[in-house]
Amino acid sequence: MANRPTLKTIADRVGVTVSAVSLALRDDPRISRATRERIQQAAETLGYVYNRHAAGLRRGDSGTVAVCLNDLSNPFFTEFLGHMEARFREADRMMLFCHAHETPSIQARFIRQMAEHGAAGLILVPVAGTTREDLDGPQVRHLRDFPLVLISRDVDDTGFDRVINDDEMGIRLLFDHLYAAGHRRFAWLGGGGDTSTARDRERSFRQRMDAAGLPVTTETIHHGPTSLAFGDAMLERLLALPTPPTAIVCFSDIIAFGVLAACYRHGLRPGIDISVTGFDDMGAAAYSAPALTSVRVRTDLIGQRASELLLARMAGERHPPVREVVPPELVVRNTTGPPAHGGLVQR
Amino acid sequence: MANRPTLKTIADRVGVTVSAVSLALRDDPRISRATRERIQQAAETLGYVYNRHAAGLRRGDSGTVAVCLNDLSNPFFTEFLGHMEARFREADRMMLFCHAHETPSIQARFIRQMAEHGAAGLILVPVAGTTREDLDGPQVRHLRDFPLVLISRDVDDTGFDRVINDDEMGIRLLFDHLYAAGHRRFAWLGGGGDTSTARDRERSFRQRMDAAGLPVTTETIHHGPTSLAFGDAMLERLLALPTPPTAIVCFSDIIAFGVLAACYRHGLRPGIDISVTGFDDMGAAAYSAPALTSVRVRTDLIGQRASELLLARMAGERHPPVREVVPPELVVRNTTGPPAHGGLVQR
DNA sequence: CTACACAGTTCAATCGATTGAACCAATGCG
DNA sequence: CGCATTGGTTCAATCGATTGAACTGTGTAG
């Protein structure tokens, strides 16, 4: 920063005023072609660096966009990040980034700080347990009328734009696929904490069970963190049951990978001895051993759509908050198949 | 941004001047406890939001830190991101983030933009092929004397601080582990493009081969992208050779996972029929089927150390550029074992 | 020849926080 | 009682870019 050239430096050198330089550097047609080129030339040779603080102060907006995610260790979220980053780069917006670690205080602080920086918009995967108050309460009143798009997870009644996956549909696709293959003994390995995603997927699972006339007991539903370790540990527990499930429906690919790892140790062949499904269809799902049956969440579409919505709001577009639900796709690979020896009979 | 309260708003309300408010909000002892509290109270009730543009303009530094990575789809890099983010949050620094996608033009643009934003420091995983000129040439002269730390990949003669993994040692640990188990027919699956990491790991592999008196032929060394697909495809090619290798040393875990996927399809049992090693030891390595033998790169130590170095430079510390090399650790799991039926004999 | 348009440029105020210097009142000290 | 000290606050300049209004000179129409 130490004495970098400013508009004035250039102006003096070329023999015009700062106004002229300011306009010229932004290609304003009011400045003649000739002077404009001399000015731009001078800026180049002097190594001029635009000062966004000065501009932002005057204009009241820094042109940055803020993005707050929760779990970088989950490739599912980094896929979002990649898609949005690409779109914002295209729009020439810088990205302020935060990793909230499912911690409300970090999220709250980031919201304050991005406001301080004059960020023009925010994309947020709300931390588990986020309520309407957290996003719209007095302590963050600067979010009122602020361009904000929630992705992946929903928060009821926020009055903000949201782009989320159709979780109900995803579970339905998986369940029906397994049911059609003949499975009747299911287990649900839930993750995702206190999020709409966790709730919607589990609710959908329970609905399908009900609809199929299957009982949901304490042996059916299990909760834990979205981690490989949880999936791994749960398979052990499920195998220890008197009548283990023939199909394990996991909240996410990550958990399913953990289950596969435990299967391998036990010499169980997923897709033959037991069926396992993931959710998200992250890149690695095609390469697990065996390749994982999952549901593809369209992170690309969601990320792109969220970016578009945000850019539109930032451009001043006014309309009631939208809630866009993106349908996922069933991807059948090799971890699912008919139940082994009498899964049907034992029902 | 629209008419948010400013220092003036607060000053008028409390009946003091902006100076007093400015000082009070920063807990300057020059302002009496009583007024300070009244001011802070007023700021609170008015919903005051600090304007960093104004402050940054005056002070010439925004307190942000810039981070530029290359491959978000590789959990190895997102681990870095997580560790650094944590450290910077602690230091109350916001993070400007860029995903360079191994694209020099994106990297160059980000460097310019973060300078415009008055970022106080930069952590960079240089894109493949980055040279000294790219970082210190005339077009980016604002990097001279700028706090910059390179991580993971090295660039010769930069004059910047660097924190990197000891790649030579990592490969040595893996090779010696395999050699000691009896392997004599090796293959190298290289990735990483034109980076110091790619060069150092391959050089180390060749050195160990030489030291062991083993021939390196066109059947030994293979290059491709750091992807699951590359590992997968390469196993097919290797198996088609007249005398396939008994041990496959991969540039990274990602590639190794691809190899494991292909092994599974071929009914090959890694660790028994064939040995496979990764590099990085990302979280998933413990959960692949079977669990992957790898080398743990200490992303935590590297990330932390890089952040510390950067913060120290930002605080004005002056010393010649350092090059810190962090030793990795061998993690033996289940994809390695003695060569199957006569690997030794066939030599 | 005057008035007028217009392209090209300059003027000057402005954004909001920071900070060294100046100021003021009350207290302490000789 | 007068003078210095100091704690508390204000003054006023400053950071660098932006922008509506004002200005200048040239060309054109009447």
Write out the DSSP string of A136-178.
HSGGGGGGTT--EEEESS--TT--SEEEEE-HHHHHHHHHHHH
- Which residues does A33 contact at the CB level (< 8 Å), separation at least 6? none
Low-confidence ranges of chain A (pLDDT < 70): 1-2, 137-144, 342-347
Q: How crowded is the C-beta side of A176, counted as CA atoms within 13 Å?
A: 12
Contact B53 A57 (CB under 8 A): yes
* CATH code of the domain made up of B63-165+299-326: 3.40.50.2300
- Which residues does A145 contact at the CB level (< 8 Å), separation at least 6? none
Ramachandran category for residue A92: left, alpha or beta (phi over 0 → left; psi -120 to 50 → alpha):
left
Chain A residues 291-310 within an 8 A CB cutoff of chain B = 291
Give the whole-angstrom CA distance, residue B105 versus residue B98.
Answer: 12
Amino acid at A183: H
Low-confidence ranges of chain B (pLDDT < 70): 1-2, 137-144, 342-347
Give the whole-angstrom CA distance, residue A293 versus residue A285.
Answer: 8
Query: How many helices and strands in chain B, by DSSP H and E?
Result: 12, 12
Contacts of A290 in chain B (CB under 8 A): 264
Let me know the angle formed at the C-alpha of A115 by A113 and A118, rounded to the nearest 5 degrees.
115
Contacts of B286 in chain A (CB under 8 A): 228, 261
Domains B63-165+299-326 and B167-297 share a fold: yes
Chain A residues 126-185 within an 8 A CB cutoff of chain B = 138, 141-142
Q: Are B81 and B108 contacting, i.e. CB atoms less than 8 angstroms apart?
A: no
Return the closest nucleotide (C1') to the Cα of B25.
C17
User: Would you state the structure tokens that stand for residue A107, as one six-digit string?
Assistant: 């999220």
Name residues 53-72 of chain A with a Cβ under 7 Å from nucleic strand C. 54, 57-58, 60
- Which residues does A40 contact at the CB level (< 8 Å), separation at least 6? A24, A25
Q: Which nucleotides of D are covered by protein (CB under 7 A)?
A: 7-12, 14-20
What pLDDT shows up at residue B1?
A: 56
Contacts of A138 in chain B (CB under 8 A): 47
Give the whole-angstrom CA distance, residue B337 versus residue A267.
Answer: 18
Amino acid at A42: A
Contact A117 B94 (CB under 8 A): yes
- Which residues does B33 contact at the CB level (< 8 Å), separation at least 6? none
Contacts of A75 in chain B (CB under 8 A): 73, 75, 78
What are the domain boundaries of chain A? 7-50, 63-165+299-326, 167-297
Proximity of residue B50 CB to strand C below 7 A? yes
Query: Residue A162: what are its φ and ψ, rounded to 5°?
Result: -140, 140
Distance B221 CA to D18 C1' (A): 59
Distance B35 CA to D8 C1' (A): 10
**Cβ neighbourhood burial of A47 (10 Å; 0-12, 13-18, 19+):** middle
- Which residues does B128 contact at the CB level (< 8 Å), separation at least 6? B70, B102, B192, B193, B194, B195, B198
CA nearest to B286, candidates B237, B332, B240, B251: B332
Proximity of residue B59 CB to strand C below 7 A? yes
Beta bridge partners of B247: B186, B275
Task: Note the pLDDT tens digit of each residue in B250-306.
Answer: 999 999 999 999 999 999 999 999 999 999 999 889 989 899 999 999 999 999 999
B203 touches chain A (CB under 8 A): no
Return the closest nucleotide (C1') to the Cα of A22.
D17
Q: Are B76 and B253 contacting, i.e. CB atoms less than 8 angstroms apart?
A: yes
Return the closest nucleotide (C1') to the Cα of A28.
C8
Chain B residues 47-76 within an 8 A CB cutoff of chain A = 47, 49-54, 56-57, 60-62, 64, 67, 72-73, 75
Contact B94 A81 (CB under 8 A): no
Give the whole-angstrom CA distance, residue A55 versus residue A52.
Answer: 5
pTM: 0.86
What pLDDT shows up at residue B143?
A: 67
Contacts of A288 in chain B (CB under 8 A): 261, 288-289
Q: Does domain A167-297 have CATH number 3.40.50.2300?
A: yes
Distance B7 CA to D8 C1' (A): 19
Closest protein CA to C1' of nucleotide C8, residue: A31
What pLDDT shows up at residue A283?
A: 86
Distance B115 CA to C8 C1' (A): 32
Give the whole-angstrom CA distance, residue B152 versus residue B126.
Answer: 9
